[in-house]
């Protein structure tokens, strides 16, 4: 019998629509390689729905019976009481509740094998401070930064002065957001406080990071497990026109906001270094399955490479960076997805074998 894969998509996240597009690719490619697909849609309002594959692929309304997770033998219970039992889950919800460990925690409790990073790595990957601090502990290159936490908000003056000493430009970001939401480039001390207050609208912790002016943005895909992983070729994202950095508009609103250079025009040595760094970061953060690791490179000196962030559930639309990086490396999306499902299976089996008793 064909393996049944539940693909969970949508979610309460600014990347809801991107997730639907990612799910279309994931479902059609997996269906084409012989898996039975159960598309599970999570509307913004909540309440999971089992939708027909045809409706998803044709862009029709995403309607279907409400389903609920059940702890009885890893099944989902449909509205009418019938039990749906996926052999594995492919979560493809980007951002909060899908990429931050919340959904992964539920799948752990249900004991269903799933694709991608586990609870801790997902949560760590979503937090820009924790992920950078962990990477730095492992000797990986990160830019200096100052962190302002909620309890310091009313008396942040000394922290702003400390950040100012790093030199301008500075980048101010909410630590747990994505898509450049709440991110500002700050060019002088007087603009710093408003930028921090703006970032506090999106998170309870704000990072002020030393900026690399007009940084080159290099991305690299990692695929593997905790036992071994490989890096794709590197790509370069170039914000175009009026965009000084890769802001929300350049990412989503401006059709001509960016250009993707594949492979990235870097010397062979730097490219090889970034690929190695990507795999080291993947291991340092305890990742499994996939991740896209983003770097900032000094436009005046390509040897100055800094870890920017990690995405543990990168976009999977037909024009998304992660599948394109792998295609350029020689792995078609079908192979990437098959590998991801197999890694998810193996990781869950390995965890099940761990001793849960004292001896
Ligand atoms: N330290 C920095 N120096 C230069 N540019 C930066 C820096 N930090 C962020 N940026 C710019 O802001 C964008 C968004 O920041 P990033 O840390 O990737 O957050 P997000 O998770 O929102 O994508 C980056 O793609 C880059 O264009
Ligand atoms: Mg980013």
Give me the residues paired with residue 50 across strands: 40
**Residue 161 and residue 190 in contact, taking contact as beta carbons nearer than 8 Å:** no
- For ligand 1, residues with CB inside 6 Å are 143, 171, 173, 177-180, 183, 209, 211-212, 215, 217, 245-246, 294, 296, 308-309
Q: Which two tokens stand for residue 257?
A: 């906001």
| The pLDDT value given to residue 355 | 83
pLDDT of residue 270: 98
Q: Whose CA is nearest to atom 14 of ligand 1?
A: 180
Query: How confident is the model at residue 254, as a pLDDT?
Result: 65
Ligand at minimal distance from the CA of 179 is 1
Ligand 2 centroid–CA 355 distance in Å is: 38
pLDDT tens, N- to C-terminus, the chain (359 residues): 689 999 999 998 878 988 999 999 999 999 999 999 999 999 999 899 999 999 999 999 999 999 999 988 878 889 888 899 999 999 999 888 888 999 999 999 998 999 999 999 999 999 999 999 999 999 999 999 999 999 999 999 999 999 999 999 999 999 987 677 789 999 999 999 999 999 999 999 999 999 998 899 999 999 999 899 999 999 999 987 777 777 767 666 666 778 899 999 999 999 999 999 999 999 999 999 999 999 999 999 999 999 999 999 999 988 899 999 999 999 999 999 999 999 998 988 888 888 878 77
Strand partners, 260: 237
pLDDT score at 252: 66
- Which pLDDT does position 358 carry in this prediction? 75
Rounded distance between C-alpha atoms, residue 316 and residue 42, angstroms:
17
Residue 1 has a pLDDT of 67
| Alpha-helix residue ranges (DSSP H) falling in the chain | 16-32, 53-58, 102-110, 119-126, 128-137, 157-164, 192-199, 248, 268-284, 321-329, 333-353
Cis peptide preceding 263, ω within 30 of 0: yes
Ligand 1 pocket test: which of 146, 163, 183 has the largest number of ligand atoms within 8 Å of its C-beta? Answer: 183
Q: What is the pTM of this model?
A: 0.94
CA distances 17 to 22, 74, 220, 316, Å, are 9, 28, 23, 12
Number of H helices, E strands in the chain: 11, 16
Closest ligand 1 atom number to CA of residue 246: 27
Domains of the chain: 4-114 (3.40.50.20), 144-210 (3.30.1490.20), 216-352 (3.30.470.20)
Ligand closest to the CA atom of residue 174: 1
Q: What is the DSSP string of 65-102?
A: -EEEEETTTTEEEETTS-EE--SEEEE---STTTSSSH
Q: What letter would DSSP give residue 29?
A: H
- Residues 6 or more apart from 263 whose CB is under 8 A from it? 233, 234, 235, 271, 328
Please state, in angstroms and rounded to a whole number, the distance separating the CA atoms of residues 256 and 245.
14
Task: Report the atom number in ligand 1 closest to the C-alpha of 170.
Answer: 1
Question: How far does residue 308's CA lie from ligand 1's centre (Å)?
Answer: 7
Residue in 101, 147, 91, 92 with CA at minimum distance from that of residue 124: 101
Q: What is the pLDDT of residue 356?
A: 79
Tell me how far apart the alpha carbons of residues 186 and 204 are, in angstroms, rounded to a whole number: 20
10 Å Cβ neighbour count for 59?
A: 10
């Amino acid at each position: 019998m064909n393996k049944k894969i539940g693909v969970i998509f949508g979610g309460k996240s600014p990347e809801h629509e991107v997730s639907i597009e990612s799910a279309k690719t994931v479902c059609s490619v997996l269906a084409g390689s012989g898996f039975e697909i159960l598309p599970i849609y999570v509307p913004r309002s909540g309440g999971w729905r089992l939708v027909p594959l045809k409706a998803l692929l044709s862009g029709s309304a995403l309607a279907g019976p409400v389903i609920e997770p059940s702890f009885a033998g890893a099944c989902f219970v449909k509205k009418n009481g019938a039990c749906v039992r996926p052999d594995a889950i492919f979560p493809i919800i980007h951002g909060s509740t899908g990429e931050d460990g919340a959904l992964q925690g539920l799948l752990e409790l249900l004991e269903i094998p799933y694709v991608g990073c586990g609870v801790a790595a997902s949560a760590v990957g979503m937090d820009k401070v924790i992920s950078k601090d962990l990477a730095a502990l492992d000797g990986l290159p990160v830019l200096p930064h100052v962190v302002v936490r909620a309890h310091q908000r009313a008396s942040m003056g000394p922290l702003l002065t400390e950040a100012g000493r790093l030199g301008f430009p500075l980048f101010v970001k909410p630590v747990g957001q994505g898509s450049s939401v709440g991110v500002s480039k700050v060019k002088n001390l007087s603009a710093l406080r408003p930028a921090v207050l703006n970032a506090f609208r999106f998170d309870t912790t704000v990072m002020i990071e030393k900026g690399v002016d007009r940084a080159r943005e290099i991305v690299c895909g990692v695929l593997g497990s905790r036992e071994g992983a490989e890096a794709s070729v590197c790509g370069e994202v170039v914000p175009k026109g009026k965009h000084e950095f890769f802001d929300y508009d350049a990412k989503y609103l401006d059709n001509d906001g960016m250009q993707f250079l594949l492979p990235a025009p870097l010397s062979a040595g730097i490219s090889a270094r970034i690929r190695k760094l990507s795999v080291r970061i993947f291991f340092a953060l305890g990742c499994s399955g996939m991740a896209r690791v983003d770097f900032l490179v000094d436009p005046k000196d390509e040897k100055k490479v800094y870890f920017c962030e990690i995405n543990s559930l990168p976009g999977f639309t037909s024009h998304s960076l992660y599948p394109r990086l792998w295609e350029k490396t020689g792995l078609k999306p079908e192979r990437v997805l098959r590998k991801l499902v197999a890694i998810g299976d193996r990781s869950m089996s390995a965890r099940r074998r761990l001793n849960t008793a004292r001896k």
